A and B are shown apart, each in its own frame.
Chain A
């Protein structure tokens, strides 16, 4: 009982810490307008997930197999949750500031593991509510709601995140244990993030690309390999037997993790936190310009912090992976795309892929936040605030444009894009990148949030990222408006015209940034 009380106290403090940091990370204030904006943004972002869930249910309903919708969505959710949980666990276990304090407390090591998992559980529960719960509710209604089935759906909702969470914990701790002594441990976390993303995108594209009967066949097959998805589906229909199976599975997994936790924790977390002496090169004395030094510093902040690096690379890699998987799975036929009648579609695809780094890697939205407690350094230095702000913008522009060029050089040949369209596409992307790098920085200047204790909090719990992403769909209004108003303009001219509009927007934002936001920058409290 005493032990349980200590575990509860530890979990409570972790959750309080998590909510307090989450709230401050989100920048929530008592102002009604601020909260309204937050809820609106969250609703906007939740809609596509709920639509996906409802859409999947209707697909299986049309096939006459609504019960398979839960199986399919649970498999998808498990992958989605694992993809989210593993990097989050890496951040919580290996880069959180409180781990050195926690290890000194007179508590068993598995308590620390379980207390940390409680915060990840909440994260996954939100994902579960958006991705799986709508299908479960619709399924429950379809099979006739009874008090028993409502209770079972509710329990299923609560329990669904546990298997992926426990699996992710073993994977994250186990892999780190293997790599704890290696200097390549950060690469491991990167590799795993990529592998999971590839898996997630691949399975989703594969299933959506297949015909109805194939989807049914694959869901049944995958369900056989992953019985919890079938149990969960039958729980929604009111099956107590499957509920017991699901409970038993969770019990076994929790017991397994309890046995493994202490051992894994000791060998992984503590070894990971051991300081290692890394000597590189020698002592040198070289002069560089202030601009170059500031740019280098901002780049290194991303490149040297594995969580920041992984997040950036994953954001940049998504379009490439999507394209690659679409080609591999045959969802995208290159032979058809290069036909003259599909030229427009190929150009749109090319520009879309080229723009993806600027649209997805919203680095400027956390450019100041990423510095955390070291932000004071740049404020003390004899550097103009504008140079300080500009160096952050240029960091985002350099990374995003480099990614766009790399992706562009690959897709340009693949899609056999004409030189004239290539130039128009590049012009559009450069202007879009400049505008987004500037407007995102504006968001970060309004909401600097420097007091984070683990890097995931800086870039994931941060409402800046959501605000910045919410802005993206609005930008589509410009080319759509041009296309509808002047259908004869053609893709190339629309690209040039939209690029020009983005350039004007960039100049206006930059002017505002330069004139008014410098004061805001100076007033950031460190």
Chain B
């Protein structure tokens, strides 16, 4: 579903924020992307989603090259950023209709999807309010609903649980699992190791822009004989020391 090949990003031409990162995310799996602060997680996600242009390397989404056919590639995924900074002088429903038009979701389907997800996340009653009156958590929920609305093949989330209340966090985790059970794919970054441990099929650990581990969690744990926390701390030891 998602293939990253030698993906590199340098902002200043010298220091590499992401350094020759290669990984493959298979269809139907929940893929956790973890690493310490400043490791390059958000930069990687921004390159996958087209917000940043890679310095070099290749991104393929469902076999479509992001550099060659960005619009076709983008039709296959949606994205929830770590900060819900969106144009907020419109109402929640305007935002969702805007996204539905962008992803060409027919009216009947968008009605069902909007009602379903906004009711799950308890923001349906607030859809006629201006987004600028929403709390941080409500904005985050609106973004999640917007990203789920086109029923994307690949669902990309950057720190999605930040700002969500425990009930909403639980619902999102359930939706992520359900999405994968239906053949969808989830790629998400998180600092919450227990969440990654509970729901991910595979994980990748990134440190200083480089991939330091990528496999099924059970396999990594089995091989090392440690918990995920111990493995994470060991793999990213130099980040702490620095």
Contact = CB atoms under 8 A, between A and B. Distances in A.
A418 interface: no
B137 interface: no
Contact of B85 (A283, A284, A373): A373
Contacts of B107: 285-287
Nearest to A285: B111
Contact of A301 (B46, B83, B87, B93): B87
B192 interface: no
A293 B91 CA distance: 14
Contacts of A287: 100-101, 106-107
Contact of A285 (B86, B102, B110): B110
Contact of B87 (A281, A288, A297, A523): A297
A371 interface: yes
B44 to A, nearest CB: 14
Given A280-B128, A293-B98, A382 B89 contact: no
A293 B106 contact: no
Contacts of B75: 382
Interface stretch (A16-24, A25-33, A271-279, A349-357): A271-279
Interface in A165-207: none
Interface string B79-92: 10101011111110
Interface stretch (B49-57, B206-214, B219-227, B233-241): B49-57
Contacts, number: 97
B171 to A, nearest CB: 20
A196 B125 CA distance: 42
Contact of A384 (B71, B98, B100, B133): B71
A379 interface: yes
A1 interface: no
B238 to A, nearest CB: 27
Nearest to B52: A525
Given A285-B114, A300-B89, A381 B74 contact: yes
Contacts of B50: 379-380, 522
A279 B129 contact: yes
Contact of A523 (B53, B71, B133): B53
B87 A380 contact: no
Interface in B96-131: 97-103, 106-107, 110-111, 114, 124, 127-130
Contacts of A275: 132-133
Contacts of B132: 275
A525 B86 contact: no
A285 B51 contact: no
Contacts of A244: none
Given A284-B97, A382-B102, A371 B51 contact: no
Contacts of B46: 376, 526
A280 B127 CA distance: 10
Contact of A277 (B72, B86, B129): B129
A290 interface: yes
Interface in B30-80: 46, 49-53, 70-72, 74-75, 79
A276 B133 contact: yes
A383 interface: yes
Nearest to A288: B101
A377 interface: yes
Contact of B52 (A282, A385, A526): A526
Contacts of B101: 287-290, 293
B110 A304 contact: no
Contacts of B81: 376
A374 interface: yes
Contact of B93 (A283, A290, A304, A384): A283
Interface centre among A285, A286, A290, A304 (most CB of B within 10 A): A285
Interface in A209-246: none
A523 B70 CA distance: 13
A249 to B, nearest CB: 41
B102 A383 contact: yes
A305 B89 contact: yes
Contacts of A278: 129-130, 133
Nearest to B114: A285
A281 B128 CA distance: 7
A187 B72 CA distance: 43
Given A278-B129, A283-B128, A300-B89, A522 B102 contact: no
Contacts of A284: 93, 97
A293 B98 CA distance: 6
A351 to B, nearest CB: 36
Nearest to B71: A382
A376 B51 contact: yes
A304 B89 CA distance: 6
Interface string A380-408: 11111100000000000000000000000
Contacts of B114: 283, 285
A383 B70 CA distance: 8
Nearest to B118: A283
Interface string A289-312: 110010001001100110000000
A374 B86 contact: yes
B115 to A, nearest CB: 9
A522 B130 CA distance: 30
A301 B132 CA distance: 13
Given A287-B107, A290-B102, A377 B97 contact: no
Contacts of B127: 283
Interface in A302-342: 304-305
Q: Which among B79, B86, B130 has the highest number of chain A CB atoms within 10 Å? A: B130
B53 A277 contact: no
Contacts of B130: 278, 280
12 contacts: A279-B128, A283-B114, A283-B127, A285-B97, A285-B111, A286-B97, A287-B107, A374-B85, A374-B86, A376-B85, A380-B49, A381-B74
Nearest 9 pairs between A and B by C-beta?
Answer: A304-B89, A382-B74, A373-B85, A374-B87, A285-B111, A382-B75, A381-B102, A293-B101, A382-B71
Given A287-B107, A300-B87, A385-B70, 17 more contacts: A280-B91, A283-B128, A287-B101, A288-B101, A293-B102, A300-B89, A373-B83, A374-B85, A377-B86, A379-B50, A379-B51, A380-B49, A380-B79, A381-B99, A382-B71, A522-B50, A526-B46
